[in-house]
Amino acid sequence: MKSAHRGGEDPDDEVFTQRAVELKDEANALYGAGSIKRALEVYEQALNLLPERDQTRAMIHSNRAACFSKMQCYADVVAEASRALALDGKSYKAYWHRAQAYMQL
């Protein structure tokens, strides 16, 4: 429910968004360290905090596509990349991940 604060926005939205960005950064570090499954879990936590149309979601879905690619789960790569593209039709990383996955299917 929206409150009357800050032009009708819920003041908690900013807190949730900031925490989601922190989780995304944590997941990026996990991915870089090779902890792919844990990175997927942390990315999911970040997604759960963000509104449906938040642009950060596109980046997270694209990053999840990269994780699934490392795991050779190509159908999941296509699904995550497609989610990213639904939010940001200009995400070249999402297009690249999806194209690479289609070549493996």
According to the model, what pLDDT value does residue 8 have? 40
Split into its structural domains, the chain has a count of 1
Structure tokens given for 35: 């902890």
> pLDDT tens across 21-45, in order?
999 999 999 999 999 999 999 999 9
Range(s) of the domain holding residue 19 = 5-104
Token pair recorded at residue 38:
């844990």
Overall pTM > 0.95: no
CATH number reported for the structural domain that contains residue 100 in this entry:
1.25.40.10
> Dihedral (C-alpha) 104, 76, 90, 102: value to the nearest 10 degrees?
20
Q: What's the count of helices (H) and strands (E) in the chain, helices before strands?
A: 5, 0
User: pLDDT category, 9, cuts 50, 70, 90?
Assistant: low
- For the chain, give the number of residues: 105
